[in-house]
Amino acid sequence: MKGLLIKDLCNLKQVGRQTLLVLAVMAAWCAFLNNAQIFSMMMALYSMMLMFTAMSYDEMANFDKYALTLPVTRADLVRTKYVLLVLLFGAGMLVGLLGEVIFFLLRGAGELTLLEQTASLFTVAVFYLLGFLVLIPVIFRLGMEKARLFLSLIFVAMFGLIWVGVLLARSLEIEITEGMVIGAIVAGVLLTAACFFLSYRVSLRIVKRKEW
């Protein structure tokens, strides 16, 4: 599995310059808007979008079909992609947090404190991650090109849920306390872990039955 992961990371080096350009443009745009949250959230999303790039390279080269002639199992093919997603998610969060800290030091606190900005980034990034966990089995089942059609659908549905939740909380005049925030974070972590396991099992089942 280590070799498969290194292969994916080497493939992603091909878009290294493009990634640096995106980072620079986003940083300049957010500095102009005086909003560090946009930068951190977009970095979290963009980093996980690189997962699609890695899977597209595999599909274009018919790599999975070739990999099965090597001492590689189907479980290795699936497991590698989930490990890659975790690495990209961590990298996106790290770059996003670093950007918020630098912005905070240069521009000051603004309307939100650094802690509030970090909590907001974590919440949105978890929703991004859940969306990708839903999409990965679809990619394994239908292929990258067809799965792109589901991308917008999944994220529109997720942001719709967030919007409904916010409206509901406002209409009921629910006062958000520190305990509720901690509870929501814990619930989010547990939900993400459960979805991660479920998504992995579904993808593994699809790949084991798939014929290339």
Structural domain total, the chain: 1
- Kindly state the average pLDDT of the residues 87-93: 88
Query: pLDDT value at position 20?
Result: 82
Answer yes or no: is pLDDT of 123 > 60: yes
- Kindly state the average pLDDT of the residues 35-39: 74
Contact 123, 188 (CB under 8 A): yes
Residue type at 165? Answer: G
Task: Give the pair of three-digit tokens for residue 25.
Answer: 């443009």
Answer yes or no: is pLDDT of 109 > 60: no
Name the band, by pLDDT with cuts 50, 70 and 90, for residue 113. Answer: low
Answer yes or no: is pLDDT of 111 > 90: no
Name the band, by pLDDT with cuts 50, 70 and 90, for residue 85. Answer: very high
Which residues touch 119 (CB under 8 Å, ≥6 apart)?
181, 185
User: Which of 83-97, 165-179, 194-208 comes out lowest in average pLDDT?
Assistant: 165-179
DSSP string, 17-86: HHHHHHHHHHHHHHHHHT-HHHHHHHHHHHHHHHHHHHHHHHHHTTHHHHHTTSS--HHHHHHHHHHHHH
Query: pLDDT value at position 102?
Result: 81
Rounded to 5 degrees, φ, ψ at 61 are -95, 0
- Kindly state the average pLDDT of the residues 116-144: 80
Contact 72, 121 (CB under 8 A): no
Answer yes or no: is pLDDT of 66 > 90: no
- Kindly state the average pLDDT of the residues 87-98: 86
- The conformation of residue 210, written as its DSSP 8-state character, comes to -
Burial class from Cβ neighbours inside 10 Å (0-12, 13-18, 19+) for residue 117 reads: buried
Burial class from Cβ neighbours inside 10 Å (0-12, 13-18, 19+) for residue 65 reads: exposed
Which pTM was predicted?
Answer: 0.82
Residue type at 33? Answer: L
How far, in Å, CA of 55 to CA of 7, rounded? 11
Q: Which domain, by its residues, includes 189?
A: 2-209
